[in-house]
Structure 1
Amino acid sequence: MNIIGKAVLAATVGAAAFAATPSQAYDWGLAVKIASVEATYMPNVVAFTADRAVGTCAAGHQLLYIPTGDTADLKAHNANAVFSMLISARLAQQWVVITGNNANCTVLFVNMQ
């Protein structure tokens, strides 16, 4: 397969995957620095605080990330990955983009900058 064929195949697969993914609504998304990370509720919930307000959640208010996955093992792995990223961001003072909902200050996505 030549380079053009590979590009068309990649675009087709990417479009199909995007079309099959349900859209998720969220209230906010912004870059923050992590103020604290709590391990108490792991692996069911990753709790942390940010340096600024996000949506209606005040600065310092506990934000909750609920791990995703089809099985308990996958949810635990997801929780550990997000927890590790938040700890790393906290120690390195790196920006993290969080996206979530005002209801219960829940976080849907966590991305390190």
Structure 2
Amino acid sequence: MHAPAKHRSFTQLIEFEIEPQQQSALVSALSRQTERLAQHHSGFLSASIQASEDGRRVLNYLQWQTREAGEAAFQAFESGEQDFWQLIRAHQAKTVTFGSFQVLHSLERSPDHGLHCTLVG
């Protein structure tokens, strides 16, 4: 399924598998790095960092206006003040999984509690 180029957004999902004692430090480091990416790269839409209850996984979700914006930011992530690979080593990540996705449908609740659906395609 392909969306018209003008309506596409791009999502990067990065999942870390770590030892539970590393989770808090990794979340803090990802939070700082994600804020830097958001401040210094155009095309940023949103981000979240999620932690599993068992302490073994962290999910970093970044959404960009275009694939190109996301890829440019990630290149900076790889070579920044604390590069991405140093982050992985410092927090003893056992596994890092990358996923890239086009957003084709989204649903969100507005302040008035209504549901707003966006279909792309």
Say yes or no: TM over 0.5: no
Please report the TM-score for the alignment, with normalisation by the length of structure 1: 0.30
Q: Pick 1 or 2: higher relative contact order, CA cutoff 8 A, min separation 6.
A: 2
Please report the TM-score for the alignment, with normalisation by the length of structure 2: 0.28
Which protein has the bigger strand share? Answer: 2
